[in-house]
Structure 1
Amino acid sequence: MSKLPQQLNKAFFAVAALFLVSCSNTKFVPQGDYLYTGASVKIMDDSLSKTQRNTLKKELEETLTPKPNATFLGLRPKLYIYNITSEPKKEKGFKYWLKYKVGEKPVYLSDVDIPFNLDLIENTGENRGYFNISASFDTLPKNKKVKIDYNVSPRTQYVINQVTFPVDSSVLAKEINKITNKTLLKANAPFNLDVIKKERERIDVTLKENGFYYFDPNNLIIQVDSTEIKHKVNLNVKAKENTPELARHQFTIDKVYIFSDYNLRNSRRSRSLIRSGNDTILWKDNVYIIDPKEKFRPQIYDRALYFKSGDLYNRTNHNLTLSRLVNLGTFKFVKNQFVLTDSTANKFDVYYFLTPHDFKSLRLETLGKSNSASYVGGEVNLNWRHRNFLKGAELFSATLYTAIDFQIGGSKDANNIYRVGSKVSLTWPRIIAPFRFHSSSAFVPKTKVELGYEYQKRTQLYTLHNFNASFGYLWKENALKEHDLKILEVTYVTPETISDKYKADMNDPNNKSAEAQRRVVEKQLIFGPVYSYVYTNTMLPKKHTFYYKGLLDLSANLTGLISGANAENGKEKTILGVPYSQYLKTEHDFRYYLKLDDKSELATRFIGGVAYPYGNSIHMPFSKQFFVGGSNSIRAFRARTLGPGSYDPRAEENISYFYDQAGDIKLEANIEYRRKLVSFLNLGLFVDAGNVWLFNKEENRPGGVISKDFLSEIAVGAGIGFRFDFSILILRTDLAIPLRIPYYEKGERWSFNEIDFSSKQWRKDNLMLNIAIGYPF
């Protein structure tokens, strides 16, 4: 029998089994009851437009309770698991987890409160202007299952005729009348209770911006009169008669008190210090600092305090001040209090109670990792931090780290990689520059200096020293937009030793990667500005969310121009005897996430990058080139072994170790379907595609240069993965196979005909297992 009929038979039996599972749920239904399969709303009114009917139908159906048991392909497997699992004796263990976490309790007709749903329908309709709405229901039982149909007659929807606002001479009425042009209540718009609530909130927000600290949206009432004109309402916006007197007045700031070392455990003593005036220092402009131990310089509040004595209270400055104090990173608790000092003058004092973090911390981190190039390894980091290094909320951090990557199996000899390094940085909570930088963001702009060194040894090959330093600024416009500008970033790489084996390979005329290998161990000097921009709203509870990161990296552009560097014509310039790199590099990472439902989403990513060497450089420095393949890239190919272009890495079989393949141009696209299976286990189905290319032709790597046929050189891989979500970390396992191999002959690059899971050799060469922490994007 051929394979196809066998597969069809298996599929048929699988479908039949699922059908039987679905049917078998009804045998658990108690006598006299029915399995509730859901409800629908039918709008019984042809006078409404199609849009009105659909909108009302959708809204009413969303209000109905309870929701029926979840289905998958029309079946209810979670309900079946609940039904077939016997009642556990304890509220823990595998059986309890299976029944109550994986399974789902049945929803019967007896669980449905139909009168309650009818009231919900009528109340929701009235809130949307259907004041004469009525509803009835029909139950449709069949084979121990039941569906409920609700028949709704909404009749005519009422619209707004006119809106009036307070006309008295009070300060409150005058402020409300200043903003009537922005009202959400429009003539001829349908009556909508939600819009009325939003109008109250809009007025409240505006009043809070204009000194009405004690005002509340509940102090407003919007009266509805439907008697004057048929099917129309008049709305009258006014303050309630019982609105407190304080809520009717604007307030200004008198004094500002900052307790810099407030202790929650000794709050009574802390407040007594304020009241007594001991250790209270008048800093400036009615701002008082209480810091008995002089832990902080008062200047840190310059860019954090938005309230000044005499200012009219407004909610924006209230929130900005709290946010900036929190974002200094030095205080773990920040709270404030407004205390009325003179009700006749409408003034109050502001108190800020700041509880600092422990300034010093020492943390040891360990990390295990694996990649598709048959390497596993680990890393140990020792981090020391000081959150108030110069008494101005500066963050100083120092890190010592060591790491090892060693090979287990694979077709190449093991060449372990050892790394030892250190990094120190100092971050000021302000912009240090000869110009004034103004930001009204809730986030404090920062200046950062960083120094680092790494010693890298690749056994039997070479050892390198890597020095780097940078100076720049970080600032956020808001929670969604972030900028990182390094005014100057310097990298210096120099080899210490190069093994005879590596020298022989990089000087071998038959080695197609010899030139690229020589560039790995050449001295490199890179310096210039680097700018990156990030926009993301992925933290928001939206159906469509985005992430974008753009990078611009420049090296020695002005230096090369001024010195007249031209490496192609033999005019290569040096600094301290080292040729410096001159290039322009840009990279763009765009991600789009579509939430399909509460348990699944579609994640996509596109990365495009170009690195162009010119002037003093013929080739890009190896560390600045692009790479693809591996656990966070094209997962069906080993890390850094794909490309460039249609170059065939099998040509390097005479080399006994993996060599990183790099390019000057990068294109990559990924799409991944993610679904939550159970509480801690998620499924991923993915397809990855992309490659890298060179700008300049290299004789030793034929097919590597970019050409008009670059799309035909795109590699494609696909696979399945599981994500184990343990809250503190996500462990990811992805199993992928190549579907399109760019170094095959044209017309033969799709490799579907080669797929053979029964072949041990095919599995060894093509099944790529990636183990990683976190999602790939």
Structure 2
Amino acid sequence: MRNTVTKIGLFILSGIVISACNSVKRVPDSKKLLTKNEIYVNEKRDKSEALTNLLYQKPNGKLLGYPLRLNMYNLANLKHDSTYQAKFTGNPNKYRRMSKILSAKQVNRLGQSFWYAGIHNFLRDTGEPPVIIDTTSTQKSANRLTAWHVNNGYFNAKTRFEVDSVKAKKAKIRYLVETGKAFFLDTVRTTIQTPALDSMYKARASASFLKPGKQYRTADFDAERGRITTHFRNNGAYHFQQNYINFDVDTLNGGQRANVNLKINDYTYREGDSTHTEHFRIFKISEVNIFTDYDPKLGKAEATQDTTKTVYRNFNLISRNKLKYRPRAITDAVFINKDNLFADFRTTLTTRYLSNLRIFNYPTIQYEIDKRDPLSKSLIANVYLTPRDKYSFGYSLDFTHSNIQDFGISGTTSFTIRNIFNGAETFDIAARGNIGSSRDLANPDDTFFNVIEYGIDMKINFPRIFMFFNTEKIIPKSMIPSTTISMGFAKQQNIGLDKENFTGAMTYTWTPKRNHSARFDLFNIQYVKNLNTANYFNVYESSYRTLSALADVYNADDSYFIPGTSNPRQLIIDSGTNAFINDAVGANPTLPMDAGDRRTVNSINERRRRLSENNLIFASSFTFSRTTKADINDEGFYAFKTKVESAGNFLSLLSSVSNEPKNQNNRNTIFELEYSQYIKGELEYIKHWDLRRKKVLALRSFVGIAIPYGNADNIPFSRSYFAGGSNDNRAWQSYSLGPGRLPAFNDFNEANLKIAASAEFRFNVFGKLNGALFADAGNIWNVLDNIEDERAVFTGLKSLEDTALGTGFGLRYDFNFFVVRLDFGFKTYNPAEEEGKKWFRNYNFGHSVVNIGINYPF
């Protein structure tokens, strides 16, 4: 099978190379292949995307300057059916012989096989037909260029084009634009027939996009229409629409000046066969009805019959049966209030908040004129809510592979209760489990499924800030606040040191502005209990090999080693490793050793102590993020995120008040548990530039530091930083880079300072296949903790010389709802190498790191 695929690939590649010499293979004799577009504006070349995107015809796409898709298309046999039939035209005996062996039906079906049809259909569909110059399309492009310049103030612009033959059957098109002089706005006046709208406009006239002296641009007129419409409709003008705004532009005075008259006519509507015109009315809300159990399958008349009405703070809550919610839980989500002016933004905000509750389907909000008002200036707001099922059940099953287990099966079941306390709360409980197979030393059993992990998580969400004082003035309900209380438990067996993990958190979230988000963890508790610390050296094999090698070099006692091992001998886990460490760095070391090797043993022992001890973390944190990304297709945006976290202060206070005794490490404890204490800060900035034509330049920068103090001289492993992996420096595997210029000394290298930056140029290859060129820089270091090795410690700007650089390329396939990513990373600058060998050492595919990921890294 592998040979067949290889042959097919070589056949296609050879065909593409050969066809490259004949890119005009499918261009008729009287036609020309478009090779290039050139745009000259007032005799100067203009390569801007704004103009090139206006052209109807563009040359065939190229990959690194090579027309790959065109040559693939030229390689395809577009008449493969005829070719197959012609095979038997001159040799009918061959057809009869094959029909006796396969049957006539099967012989005919061979014409649709991969060799005769499939490969050519693939080349045709994946390839790109030649772009042949079409005069009609070229004239349309010229007209577009003229219109674009007219819309930007060059009213006398003209465009012509020239077709310039460059080779046989090949030509380029040159567009020549003469703009003339630009027109500028002179006077801007208004004629608004409705006095109320006229006053409203003048109150915000300074925000207008149309100002005397600005160059005429149609886009400014469109923006002004949008601004005026939004302003009016947010201040009671219920019937107002953009089409009521017109502009009279007078350019007859000469001197390239344009006088603008902004005209807004009165409201026009039909009543029967008659048309009426009147001033726009400014509407107020006279009544707000909230239908809490609306059934969209019924007509509105039927769905609102036989209902019960509950009046709460000027809101009418209407239900078909007994009201299932505490009134405030619903009314807090509605920003349309009685006696307020009609406003579109209140409708939008109400829709967002109600959707965020997760107990209703997408709401419907409608307005009707209140017939009880003799002036017809009142609106009734009707909010229709369709409840989601109170109870829902979900499950998932996945097959996994990781560096911990060769094969695994994981499953999750979840149960959700909505409106559990009648206050629009949501309660979720989920159980998860995993069984897997591992050949790791930590799991020596012969059973296939020897890895087990299971856990349970519970979470309850309140659609408000749950605090002992009123937070409305600090975080108003328009910020859509919520409170989440969660707790969980997980246990591992035959995974690392076998852990029990207890978690609990109380989290507040809100959105200060659109595309802004804030999160405050009042407390986030994690207790990690290691159940199998004797298994440490089975898990951290690099440390074990280093320790065994040193024990062999210094001729440690023979009883420390596994009988029969050599080159080097291997220490017995756990008795041999403990005995050698005690001889080397114990209270009374008995083994004479080089100072550097003694530091190595001490470092291994200190790391083992830190990674095998139980951790109690009681932290509080605040996270703020902002993005300008409008939607999933927006490729020109930035995102900023910052986080501050503090741990251990509350427990330190409790420990001092309760006079808890210190443990054997001379550390304070709470409930006889040593707790972590640190301060941590992070900054992340992401910027994307949309270069058009499916080209994007993406940058990411990150700085994070965690400083231990008080009851700790290091950071817990779960709160430290690592480098490498598919979303970090892709030339190194996860945890294999750093700290500093240290080589990959441990299996899981981590530190408490991280600086990273990445750049990625993304482009389309063809169809849904995309490519990328990337560069990742960064590293981790130790700072202000108990690590003393100067190679790992950040001492200042000079330490930035230890920044690693990885470069590479990748392929991505877009499945619409997610992207599968394959990246090849190469170590361009490796700070762990010797001087003179840091740059481009082992820069080849044999030493590259292959990363498979889902979605983009940033």
**Which interval holds the TM-score relative to the shorter structure?**
0.7 to 0.9
- What amino acid does structure 1 have at the position aligned with 2:379? F
Matches within 5 A, 1:357-396: 357-371=388-402, 377-396=408-427
Q: CA deviation at 1:562?
A: 8.1
Partner of 1:499: 534
Cα distance in 1 for partners of 2:844, 2:174 equals 52
Cα distance in 2 for partners of 1:665, 1:566 equals 32
- What amino acid does structure 1 have at the position aligned with 2:127? G
Question: Aligned pair 1:771/2:805, yes or no?
Answer: no
Partner of 1:10: none
Partner of 1:171: 196
Partner of 1:86: 77
Question: Aligned pair 1:523/2:614, yes or no?
Answer: yes
Partner of 1:218: 243
Matches within 5 A, 1:668-747: 668-695=756-783, 703-708=791-796, 709-747=798-836
Partner of 2:677: 582
Cα distance in 1 for partners of 2:343, 2:429 equals 41
Question: Aligned pair 1:427/2:454, yes or no?
Answer: no
Question: Aligned pair 1:334/2:366, yes or no?
Answer: no
Counting strand residues as a fraction of each chain, which structure ranks higher?
1
- The answer to which structure, 1 or 2, has the higher relative contact order (CA under 8 A, 6+ apart) is 1
Partner of 2:153: 129
Q: CA deviation at 1:81?
A: 2.0
Partner of 2:179: 154
Contact 1:566 1:616 in 2 (8 A): no
Partner of 1:625: 720
Q: CA deviation at 1:66?
A: 2.9
TM-score by length of 1: 0.85
Deviations 1:98-123 (A, max 9, x none): 35542223322236334444443444
Q: CA deviation at 1:257?
A: 1.4
Q: Select the residue among 20, 29, 42 that pairs with 2:40.
A: 42
Deviations 1:172-222 (A, max 9, x none): 333333333332222232233332232222221111121111111111221
Give the match's secondary structure for 2:351: helix
Q: 1:77 to 1:248 in 2, by over 3 A?
A: same
Give the match's secondary structure for 2:131: coil
Contact 1:372 1:637 in 2 (8 A): no
Partner of 2:257: 232
Partner of 1:271: 301
Partner of 1:555: 647
Q: Select the residue among 291, 306, 310 that pairs with 1:281.
A: 310
Deviations 1:226-267 (A, max 9, x none): 23444322221122367444771111111111112222222x
Contact 1:508 1:514 in 2 (8 A): no
Structure 2 residue runs of 5 or longer lacking an equivalent are 1-12, 82-111, 270-276, 536-572, 585-600
Q: 1:159 to 1:743 in 2, by over 3 A?
A: closer
Give the match's secondary structure for 2:236: coil
Contact 1:568 1:618 in 2 (8 A): no
Question: Aligned pair 1:256/2:292, yes or no?
Answer: no
Deviations 1:331-351 (A, max 9, x none): 222111111223733112111
Contact 2:39 2:46 in 1 (8 A): no
Once the two structures are overlaid, the 10-residue window that deviates more, 577-586 or 178-187, is 178-187
Size of the alignment, in residue pairs?
Answer: 737
Partner of 1:605: 700
- What amino acid does structure 2 have at the position aligned with 1:585? K
Deviations 1:645-694 (A, max 9, x none): 344445x7xxxxxx422212222333333333343433344333333233
Contact 2:760 2:772 in 1 (8 A): yes
Contact 2:39 2:175 in 1 (8 A): yes
Matches within 5 A, 1:201-212: 201-212=226-237
Q: CA deviation at 1:29?
A: 1.2
Q: Percent identity over the alignment?
A: 25
Q: 1:108 to 1:247 in 2, by over 3 A?
A: farther
Cα distance in 2 for partners of 1:241, 1:547 equals 44
Cα distance in 1 for partners of 2:51, 2:781 equals 56
Structure number with bigger Rg:
2
Cα distance in 2 for partners of 1:490, 1:169 equals 61
- What amino acid does structure 2 have at the position aligned with 1:722? L
Partner of 2:25: 27
Contact 2:240 2:280 in 1 (8 A): yes
Q: 1:699 to 1:567 in 2, by over 3 A?
A: farther
Q: Select the residue among 109, 119, 127 that pairs with 2:133.
A: 109
Q: 1:771 to 1:366 in 2, by over 3 A?
A: farther
Q: 1:631 to 1:77 in 2, by over 3 A?
A: closer
Q: CA deviation at 1:469?
A: 0.8
Q: 1:123 to 1:668 in 2, by over 3 A?
A: closer
Contact 2:699 2:759 in 1 (8 A): yes
TM-score by length of 2: 0.77
Partner of 2:6: none
- What amino acid does structure 2 have at the position aligned with 1:608? V
Contact 1:36 1:146 in 2 (8 A): yes
Cα distance in 2 for partners of 1:705, 1:719 equals 28
Q: CA deviation at 1:325?
A: 1.3
Give the match's secondary structure for 1:79: helix
- What amino acid does structure 2 have at the position aligned with 1:496? L
Q: 1:569 to 1:499 in 2, by over 3 A?
A: closer
- What amino acid does structure 1 have at the position aligned with 2:708? P
Partner of 2:624: 533
Partner of 2:588: none
- What amino acid does structure 1 have at the position aligned with 2:822? T
Contact 1:627 1:663 in 2 (8 A): yes
Q: Select the residue among 535, 543, 546 that pairs with 2:638.
A: 546
Q: 1:175 to 1:690 in 2, by over 3 A?
A: closer
Contact 1:472 1:485 in 2 (8 A): yes
Cα distance in 2 for partners of 1:581, 1:436 equals 31
Q: Select the residue among 468, 477, 482 that pairs with 2:503.
A: 468
Contact 2:707 2:785 in 1 (8 A): no
- What amino acid does structure 2 have at the position aligned with 1:347? S
Cα distance in 2 for partners of 1:623, 1:123 equals 60
Give the match's secondary structure for 2:165: strand
Cα distance in 2 for partners of 1:96, 1:20 equals 16
Q: 1:177 to 1:86 in 2, by over 3 A?
A: same
Cα distance in 2 for partners of 1:471, 1:207 equals 42
- What amino acid does structure 2 have at the position aligned with 1:126? V
Deviations 1:110-148 (A, max 9, x none): 363344444434444433333333343332234212333
Cα distance in 2 for partners of 1:638, 1:491 equals 27
Q: Select the residue among 61, 68, 73 that pairs with 1:77.
A: 68
Q: 1:207 to 1:69 in 2, by over 3 A?
A: same
Partner of 1:444: 480
Cα distance in 2 for partners of 1:412, 1:451 equals 29
- What amino acid does structure 1 have at the position aligned with 2:606? E
Contact 2:618 2:651 in 1 (8 A): no
Give the match's secondary structure for 1:112: helix
Q: 1:169 to 1:377 in 2, by over 3 A?
A: closer
Cα distance in 1 for partners of 2:238, 2:497 equals 68
Structure 1 residue runs of 5 or longer lacking an equivalent are 1-14, 653-658, 758-762
Cα distance in 2 for partners of 1:179, 1:756 equals 63
Q: CA deviation at 1:423?
A: 0.9
Q: 1:200 to 1:289 in 2, by over 3 A?
A: same
- What amino acid does structure 2 have at the position aligned with 1:468? T
Give the match's secondary structure for 1:203: helix
